[in-house]
Amino acid sequence: MIAPLLLVVALASQPKTATPQQVGKGGSRQANATEPSSAAQSLSVTVTMPPPDPKQLEREAQQRERELSIQERVATFTIVLAFVGVLQIVVTLFGFIWTRTAANAARDSANAARESVRASNANAYAARDSADFTNAQNAIMKRQSVIMRAQATTATAMHLAARAWVGPIKVKGERFQGSMIVKVVFTNTGNTPALRTASKIGVTFDPAAINTKLDRPINGGVLMPRGIMNTSTADQPLTAAGVEALRTKKAVMFVYGRIWYDDVFGRTHWTTFAFHSSPDLTAFGPVENHSGTDDDEQEKG
């Protein structure tokens, strides 16, 4: 089937040869007598193709179907690969974003941790400084307390050394207008005057009636250091019966009283006393639990 086709192609490709022409007298060309006619006879070739083989056609159809199936699979696989590629790109992008976010979070966490450490250090320094300041304040307060106690002790010592001290120094019986009275003499043994100095005195034959809690008189005088004042029972002299009871030792007389005064520092003081007499009123002795001063009360309190 292929050989006749090759023959036809070879004949068609043969070149045409030109026949020589004669030139006449007039310069015109004359045709050669032997030149063939102007129209060459054409060659007609009929090629008869055998009918196609059905099995061959079936095989070719199956081949085309396989090729189409392969092409479809390739196309599907290409789409899948493209989808997988896109998915990988998306996953990679999300992974990058997540990694960067995690890195930023880790960096922020590290910065927060550093700030927390700095804050903790600052708090520790502040606590230490506060403790040092508190210790310094405590030390200052202790020193001030010591100074205040020393000053108070010094002031108290100065006050005690300079203030007035008033108390009885002598008790005696005297005759007064045909009767007997008792006179109590007191003095200021301090170094400054005793101001508003006043006193009260009482007499009784009953020891249970001794009462030194008397009311202070309104008026008073100034008792200078080493000066002397006295108080007496002139407003309540002994009766004849009382004198006789003392003489015959049937009774014992008790004299009691209180002295008030202010020192130059503005403080009020008092002194109490109580004595019992001899029958002839020439000797007097102190009565227990009835003599004292305001300083004694302060020490007991």
Q: Which 3 state secondary structure label does DSSP give 131? A: helix
Q: What are the residues facing 257 on neighbouring strands?
A: 201, 273
- Which contacts of 3-6 are long-range, i.e. CB under 8 A and separated by 24 or more positions? 4/45, 4/47, 5/47
Domain identity same for 95 and 175: no
Q: Check which CATH number belongs to the domain holding 229 and give it.
A: 2.60.40
Whole-angstrom distance, CA of residue 231 vs CA of residue 255: 11
Domain identity same for 177 and 126: no
pLDDT at 6: 47
Average pLDDT of every residue of the chain: 79
Q: Please report whether residue 3 resides in a domain.
A: no
Domain identity same for 95 and 192: no
Domain identity same for 175 and 293: yes
pLDDT at 11: 52
Whole-angstrom distance, CA of residue 289 vs CA of residue 204: 16
Structure tokens at 56: 């061959």
Domain identity same for 57 and 156: yes
pLDDT at 237: 86
Contacts of 179 (CB under 8 A, 6+ apart): 237, 238, 239, 240, 243
Domain identity same for 106 and 142: yes
The domain tally of the chain equals: 2
In this structure, what is the dihedral angle of CA atoms 98, 101, 105, 111, given to the nearest 10 degrees?
140
Give me the domain span that covers residue 100: 52-162
Q: Please report whether residue 184 resides in a domain.
A: yes
Domain identity same for 57 and 146: yes
Task: Identify the domain boundary among 129, 162, 195.
Answer: 162
pLDDT at 34: 47
In this structure, what is the dihedral angle of CA atoms 79, 84, 85, 91, given to the nearest 10 degrees?
150
Spans in the chain with pLDDT lower than 70: 1-43, 47, 143, 150-152, 300-301
User: Of all helices (H) and strands (E), which one includes residue 292?
Assistant: strand 292-293
Residue 153 to residues 75, 149, 156, 167, 263, Cα–Cα distance (Å): 113, 6, 5, 25, 18
Q: Do residues 259 and 198 make contact, with C-beta atoms less than 8 angstroms apart?
A: yes
Domain identity same for 118 and 224: no
Domain identity same for 177 and 292: yes
pLDDT at 18: 46
pLDDT at 246: 84
Domain identity same for 135 and 157: yes
Q: On the CB side of 103, how many CA atoms lie within 13 Å of its CA?
A: 6
pLDDT at 15: 52
Q: What are the residues facing 188 on neighbouring strands?
A: 166
Structure tokens at 271: 């002194």
Digit-coded pLDDT (tens) for 117-140: 777 777 777 777 777 778 777 877
Q: Please report whether residue 15 resides in a domain.
A: no
Whole-angstrom distance, CA of residue 258 vs CA of residue 167: 9
Digit-coded pLDDT (tens) for 45-65: 776 777 777 877 888 888 888
Domain identity same for 157 and 169: no
pLDDT at 41: 60
